[in-house]
């Protein structure tokens, strides 16, 4: 099973600043990496798939990068509505599909 | 508009069974793989099971293998999860999600709101 590790566990960023979230895979997942946003009481929303492709309707301030075992989600200019938990997920070596433990993003 | 609506959750005792349903609408159901994902209270996301669009590819997490059975009825646009021999650690919100491809090795672009399963004596 591919273990996904996210860091940091929590992040506090001022509005308009950049947020950088990391995700590491225990083995290469090539570019088969997605990012999700989950707000309290809501279902996850797909932000990014294939490492860097934004899903439909996702603002351009969200971008993804990386390959192999190291991946990054960047929120270029944090907005108040970006306060959420962010999960990465690999879909290269499955089953199972595996998620990281999440990064909580808080707005200062 | 794509909609996924789960039902069937509830409070059961350890060892009992539940059957979850996920009614899908707004897309050609048989063209997409579907997954069940759960989230225990205060915890992260855990993929539980997946099923290809044609129902041939069936996959489970080790934690539920042998106890849970996933199925789909493409004529009714409905996904099911039969959960037997339930344990306290199965307590979670169970959500169905649509995979972006017809096979299960893909991200999930639409999610239901989930149904709560509580296993407790």
B31-55: pLDDT as tens digits: 999 999 999 999 999 999 999 999 9
How far the first Cα of chain A sits from its last, in Å, is 36
pLDDT of residue A69: 97
Q: What is the pLDDT of residue B97?
A: 98
Contacts of B44 in chain A (CB under 8 A): 87, 99-102
Chain A residues near residue B108 by CB distance under 8 angstroms: 34, 44, 46
**Is the CB of B45 less than 8 angstroms away from the CB of A32?**
no
Closest chain A residue to the Cα of B37, Cα to Cα? A97
pLDDT in tens, chain A (108 residues): 999 999 999 999 999 999 999 999 999 999 999 999 999 999 999 999 999 999 999 999 999 999 999 999 999 999 999 999 999 999 999 999 999 999 999 999
CA pair distance A92, B17, nearest whole angstrom: 32
CA distance B74 to chain A (A): 23
Instruction: Give the pLDDT confidence of B7-37 residue by residue, as tens digits.
Output: 999 999 999 999 999 999 999 999 999 999 9
Distance CA B10, CA B76 (A): 23
Return d(Cα B6, Cα B29) in angstroms, integer: 15
- Strand A62-67 and strand A70-75: the pairing is antiparallel
- Write the residue in B47, B108, B109 that is nearest to A96 by C-beta: B47
Determine the residue of chain A that is closest to B51 in CA distance: A95
Residues from chain B contacting residue A89 (CB–CB below 8 Å) = 45, 107
8 A C-beta contact, residue B60 and residue A95: yes
At B102, the pLDDT band (50, 70, 90 cuts) reads confident
- With a cut of 90, say whether residue B3 has pLDDT above it: yes
């Amino acid at each position: 099973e591919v273990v996904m590790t996210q860091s940091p566990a929590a992040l506090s960023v001022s509005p308009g600043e950049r947020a950088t979230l990391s995700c590491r895979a225990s083995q290469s997942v090539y570019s088969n990496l997605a990012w999700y946003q989950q707000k309290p009481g809501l279902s996850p929303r797909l932000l990014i798939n294939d490492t860097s492709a934004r899903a439909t309707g996702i603002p351009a301030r969200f971008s993804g990068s990386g390959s192999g075992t190291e991946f990054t989600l960047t929120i270029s200019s944090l907005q108040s509505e970006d306060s959420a938990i962010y999960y990465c997920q690999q879909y290269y070596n499955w089953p199972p599909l595996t998620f990281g433990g999440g990064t909580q993003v808080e707005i200062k | 508009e794509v909609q996924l609506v789960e039902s069937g959750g509830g409070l059961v005792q350890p060892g009992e069974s539940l059957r979850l349903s996920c009614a899908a609408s707004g897309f050609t159901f048989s063209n997409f793989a579907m997954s069940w994902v759960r989230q225990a209270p205060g915890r992260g996301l855990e993929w539980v099971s997946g099923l290809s669009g044609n129902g041939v590819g069936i996959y489970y997490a080790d934690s539920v293998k042998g106890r849970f059975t996933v199925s789909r009825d493409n004529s009714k646009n409905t996904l099911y999860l039969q959960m037997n021999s339930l344990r306290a650690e199965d307590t979670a919100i169970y959500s169905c999600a649509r995979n972006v491809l017809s096979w299960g090795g893909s991200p999930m672009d639409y999610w239901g709101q989930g149904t709560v399963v509580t296993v407790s004596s």
